[in-house]
Structure 1
Amino acid sequence: MKKILIAGLLVWLPLTITVYVLLSLIGLMDGVFGWLLSAAAAVAPLSAQSGIERLRDWPGLGVLVMLLVLLATGVFATNYFGQWWLRQWDRLVGKIPIVKSIYNSVKQVSDTLFSSNANAFREAVLVQYPRAGAWTIAFVTGRPGGEVAEHLQGDWLSIYVPTTPNPTSGFFLMLPRADVIELEMSVDAALKYIISMGVVVPTAAAAAPRLPVARDPVG
């Protein structure tokens, strides 16, 4: 009976989580769409407010509208005219106290992670963490820069070590390149390996390079 219940759970659990994530995303889009409708109704004439409110009852309209808004924003942001306006917007936000700190930090992280020219999370590696002889999968996020790089001699890498099974939290490390082993597996395969706590083994894991002799951990 226990094996049958576990087999049933393994069938329904991925589907349930997938549906939950999709419904949460749709709910978020509908919420933003509802906020836009409320803002439009607040400034619209009384004769048009009833028509605007009826748009809330159209199933799927919020998702469709938000996808179109994202598409239009992407087209706007990828041309010269749109980029000029975005630079003006960044300058304006950069003059607002408190807001500029939050906005600039989020923008830098999002540009690093999602930009097509970014190198963050493009490579999975093996590092020794949290002690010598204990190995974990991490991701290269770049190289140390600025004042930090001036204090580091040699070739160093910036590394993100995700936690299991939630890879959205983790630890930021700076390690010498000599202490990092490059892996052939893709970032997606490495994430699956981490989230599954080693249960889902990527094919590329079998071709991973031989581990070197353990050395003292950095720092």
Structure 2
Amino acid sequence: MTDTPERITFFGRLRNNFLTGLIICAPLAITIWLTFAFIDWADSWVTPYIPQRYNPQYYFDITIPGLGLLIAVVFITVIGFLGKNLIGRSVVNFGESILHRTPLVRTLYKSLKQIFETVLKDQSTSFKKVGMIEFPGPGSWAMVFISTEAQGEIAARLNEDGEEMLAVFLPPTPVPTAGFLLFVPKSKVVMLDMTPEDAAKLLISGGLIAPAWTPKTISE
């Protein structure tokens, strides 16, 4: 006796069509909303500081979305260009010397600068690789982002037996904005082929969105 396929009712088809449409439209709508929200946020910070004679909105009496963001990008780019030459570097060093003499502010500035230099530097290798470690115990595996090799005092104290140590970041699910910094022997880290972006999607989705993978590296 063969099982007859279950017939989908009219309302069932409507529900399936609605869910399909929701999967298509929701990410698109949220992306557009976040984009315009970011543009409005940037405009609200920058536009008030633009002199009226240089503001096109003053002459045309219309709001130009993204004008503040565009000016901010141009301004930051110009600052970066000037900061690379001798005169600009001298001005930057002078400003930093004042900040370094200011209590409380110097600690905050040094920390923020170190974070941005590490993340945005072209030659930085931070968070370009993903791996797996046994955590919290044998038989249980957790995904980690590879930060860098252990350096300085940590490397000197942990590498006494010649085992190279890696600094890894263990993020939680589903919001990987905070986590644990762990120093793990390199031999205990299973390197993955997936990109940090794919790993972040996997973490945020709670394992539901797994990136496609072809096991070509295993045969190599």
Normalised to the residue count of structure 1, the TM-score between the two structures is 0.78
Matched with 2:102 is: 96
For 1:45-81, what per-residue CA distance to the aligned partner results, in whole angstroms no more than 9, with x for missing partners? xxx7xx8993795313222212221222232233443
For 1:64-107, what per-residue CA distance to the aligned partner results, in whole angstroms no more than 9, with x for missing partners? 21222122223223344333332222222111111111111111
Q: Secondary structure at the match of 1:151?
A: helix
Tell me if structure 2 keeps the 8 A contact 1:184–1:207: no
Matched with 2:6 is: none
What is the percentage of aligned positions where both structures have the same residue? 25
14 and 151 in structure 1: CA distance in 2 versus 1, 3 angstrom threshold: same
The yes-or-no answer on 1:131 pairing with 2:137 is yes
Q: Secondary structure at the match of 2:147?
A: strand
Matched with 1:161 is: 170
Letter in 2 for 1:75: F
How many Å separate the matches in 2 of 1:102 and 1:152?
Answer: 29
For 1:192-214, what per-residue CA distance to the aligned partner results, in whole angstroms no more than 9, with x for missing partners? 222232223223374576xxxxx
The yes-or-no answer on 1:140 pairing with 2:146 is yes
Q: 1:152 aligns with which of 151, 158, 166?
A: 158
Matched with 1:197 is: 206
Structure 2: where are the runs of 5+ without partners?
1-11
Matched with 2:8 is: none
Tell me if structure 2 keeps the 8 A contact 1:127–1:180: yes
The yes-or-no answer on 1:24 pairing with 2:29 is no
Q: Secondary structure at the match of 1:34?
A: helix
RMSD: 2.9
Q: Secondary structure at the match of 2:184?
A: strand
Tell me if structure 1 keeps the 8 A contact 2:148–2:166: yes
Comparing both structures, which one devotes a greater share of its residues to helix? Answer: 1
Shift of 1:119: 1.6
53 and 21 in structure 1: CA distance in 2 versus 1, 3 angstrom threshold: closer
Q: 1:120 aligns with which of 101, 122, 126?
A: 126
How many Å separate the matches in 1 of 2:191 and 2:69?
Answer: 40
206 and 167 in structure 1: CA distance in 2 versus 1, 3 angstrom threshold: farther
Letter in 2 for 1:31: S
Q: Secondary structure at the match of 1:71?
A: helix
Tell me if structure 2 keeps the 8 A contact 1:144–1:156: yes
Normalised to the residue count of structure 2, the TM-score between the two structures is 0.78
Structure 1: where are the runs of 5+ without partners?
42-47, 210-219
Q: 2:58 aligns with which of 29, 39, 54?
A: 54
Matched with 2:84 is: 78
Q: Secondary structure at the match of 1:139?
A: strand
Matched with 1:110 is: 116
Q: Which moves more between the two structures, 64-73 or 173-182?
A: 64-73
How many Å separate the matches in 2 of 1:97 and 1:32?
Answer: 27
Matched with 1:171 is: 180
Q: Secondary structure at the match of 1:203?
A: coil
How many Å separate the matches in 2 of 1:109 and 1:195?
Answer: 23
Matched with 1:212 is: none
Matched with 1:33 is: 46
